[in-house]
Amino acid sequence: MSISDNIRQRMIQGSWIRRMFEEGNMLKQKLGADKVFDLSIGNPVVEPPRELHQELQRLAKNPLPGMHRYMENAGYADTRSAVAEQLSQEMGVKFSHQNVVMTCGAAGALNVVLKSLLNPGEEVIVFAPYFLEYGNYIDNHNGITRVVPTDETFIPRLDALESTITARTKAVIMNSPNNPTGVVYNQDLIDKLGRVLGAKEKQLGTHIYLISDEAYRKLIYDGIKYPPVFQCHHQSIVASSHSKDLALPGERIGYIAVNPDCFEHDDLMEAIIFCNRILGFVNAPALMQHLVRKLQDVTVSLADYQKKRDFLYGNLVKMGYSLVKPQGAFYMFPSRPPRTRSSL
Amino acid sequence: MSISDNIRQRMIQGSWIRRMFEEGNMLKQKLGADKVFDLSIGNPVVEPPRELHQELQRLAKNPLPGMHRYMENAGYADTRSAVAEQLSQEMGVKFSHQNVVMTCGAAGALNVVLKSLLNPGEEVIVFAPYFLEYGNYIDNHNGITRVVPTDETFIPRLDALESTITARTKAVIMNSPNNPTGVVYNQDLIDKLGRVLGAKEKQLGTHIYLISDEAYRKLIYDGIKYPPVFQCHHQSIVASSHSKDLALPGERIGYIAVNPDCFEHDDLMEAIIFCNRILGFVNAPALMQHLVRKLQDVTVSLADYQKKRDFLYGNLVKMGYSLVKPQGAFYMFPSRPPRTRSSL
**Tens digits of residue pLDDT in B313-344:** 999 999 999 999 999 999 999 987 766 655 44
Of residues B320 and A343, which shows the higher confidence score?
B320
Yes or no: say if B203 and B243 are a contact pair by the CB < 8 Å rule: no
Average confidence (pLDDT) over A207-221: 97
Interface of B with A in 265-324 (CB under 8 A): 267-268, 270-271, 274-275, 277-288
Give me the amino acid identity at B119.
Answer: N
Per-residue confidence (pLDDT) for residue A327, from 0 to 100: 96
Per-residue confidence (pLDDT) for residue B192, from 0 to 100: 98
Average confidence (pLDDT) over A316-323: 92
- Lay out the sheet containing B209-213: strands in order across: B100-103, B254-258, B236-241, B209-213, B169-175, B123-127, B144-148
Least confident of A7-11, A105-109, A189-193, B191-195: A7-11
A264 neighbourhood in chain B, CB within 8 Å: 2-3
Mean model confidence pLDDT for chain B: 94
Asked if the Cβ–Cβ distance from A274 to B7 is below 8 Å, we say yes
B104 neighbourhood in chain A, CB within 8 Å: 104, 252, 280-282
A280 neighbourhood in chain B, CB within 8 Å: 104-105, 107-112, 137, 279, 281
Asked if the Cβ–Cβ distance from B117 to A2 is below 8 Å, we say yes
Per-residue confidence (pLDDT) for residue B154, from 0 to 100: 97
Distance CA A148, CA A56 (A): 43
B256 neighbourhood in chain A, CB within 8 Å: none
Q: Which of A59, A250, A279 sits opposite B111 (nearest CB)?
A: A279
On whether any CB of chain A is under 8 Å from the CB of B57, the answer is yes
Per-residue confidence (pLDDT) for residue B26, from 0 to 100: 87
Per-residue confidence (pLDDT) for residue A43, from 0 to 100: 83
Nearest Cα residue to B151 out of B143, B160, B142: B160
Residues above pLDDT 70, as percent of chain A: 97
B126 three-state secondary structure: strand
0.80 surpassed by pTM = yes
Least confident of A59-68, A159-168, A253-262: A59-68
Sign of CA dihedral B276, A5, B267, A10: negative
CB within 8 Å of B322: residues ≥ 6 apart: B334, B335, B337
Asked if the Cβ–Cβ distance from B287 to A287 is below 8 Å, we say yes
Q: How confident is the model at residue A84 (pLDDT cuts 50, 70, 90)?
A: very high
Q: How confident is the model at residue B2 (pLDDT cuts 50, 70, 90)?
A: confident
Instruction: Report chain B's C-alpha Rg in angstroms.
Output: 21
pLDDT at B201 over 60: yes
Q: Which of B4, B43, B56 sits opposite A118 (nearest CB)?
A: B4
A207: nearest CA in chain B? Answer: B2
Q: Could you give the count of Cα atoms lying within 13 Å of A250 in the half-sphere of its Cβ?
A: 23
Taking only the tens place, the pLDDT of each residue in B246-277 is 999 999 999 999 999 999 999 999 999 999 99
Interface of A with B in 178-207 (CB under 8 A): 207
Asked if the Cβ–Cβ distance from A68 to B250 is below 8 Å, we say yes
On whether any CB of chain A is under 8 Å from the CB of B259, the answer is no
A39 neighbourhood in chain B, CB within 8 Å: none
How far B232 CA lies from chain A's nearest CA (Å)? 19
Give me the amino acid identity at A201.
Answer: E
How far A188 CA lies from chain B's nearest CA (Å)? 27
Query: Strand B254-258 relative to strand B100-103: parallel, antiparallel, unpaired?
Result: antiparallel
Of residues A2 and B340, which shows the higher confidence score?
A2
pLDDT at B6 over 90: yes
How far A320 CA lies from chain B's nearest CA (Å)? 32
A90-95, Cβ contacts within 8 angstroms, sequence gap of 24 or more: A90/A217, A90/A226, A90/A228, A91/A228, A91/A230, A92/A228, A92/A230, A92/A231, A93/A228, A93/A230, A93/A231, A93/A259, A93/A260, A94/A260, A95/A257, A95/A260
Cα B335 to its chain centre, rounded Å, is: 24
Average confidence (pLDDT) over A87-96: 96
Per-residue confidence (pLDDT) for residue B344, from 0 to 100: 45
Average confidence (pLDDT) over A36-56: 88
Per-residue confidence (pLDDT) for residue A33, from 0 to 100: 86
Taking only the tens place, the pLDDT of each residue in A157-168 is 999 999 999 999
Interface of A with B in 76-105 (CB under 8 A): 104-105
Yes or no: say if B191 and B152 are a contact pair by the CB < 8 Å rule: no
What ipTM does this complex have?
Answer: 0.95
pLDDT at A339 over 70: no
A267 neighbourhood in chain B, CB within 8 Å: 2-3, 8
Per-residue confidence (pLDDT) for residue B237, from 0 to 100: 98
Distance CA A143, CA A135 (A): 9
Distance CA A326, CA A178 (A): 9
How far B45 CA lies from chain A's nearest CA (Å)? 8
Of residues B96 and A23, which shows the higher confidence score?
B96
B46 neighbourhood in chain A, CB within 8 Å: none
Asked if the Cβ–Cβ distance from A251 to B21 is below 8 Å, we say no
Of residues A12 and A193, which shows the higher confidence score?
A193
Asked if the Cβ–Cβ distance from B251 to A44 is below 8 Å, we say no
Q: How confident is the model at residue A15 (pLDDT cuts 50, 70, 90)?
A: low
How far B338 CA lies from chain A's nearest CA (Å)? 35
Average confidence (pLDDT) over B20-47: 86
B330 neighbourhood in chain A, CB within 8 Å: none
Give me the amino acid identity at B79.
Answer: T
Size of interface A-B (CB pairs under 8 A): 234
Q: Which of B41, B279, B284 sits opposite A140 (nearest CB)?
A: B279
Taking only the tens place, the pLDDT of each residue in B68-112 is 999 999 999 999 999 999 999 999 999 999 999 999 999 999 999
A137 neighbourhood in chain B, CB within 8 Å: 278, 280
Yes or no: say if B21 and B36 are a contact pair by the CB < 8 Å rule: no
Of residues B19 and A36, which shows the higher confidence score?
A36
Average confidence (pLDDT) over A269-278: 97
Per-residue confidence (pLDDT) for residue B340, from 0 to 100: 61
How far A258 CA lies from chain B's nearest CA (Å)? 13
How far A60 CA lies from chain B's nearest CA (Å)? 5
B170 three-state secondary structure: strand
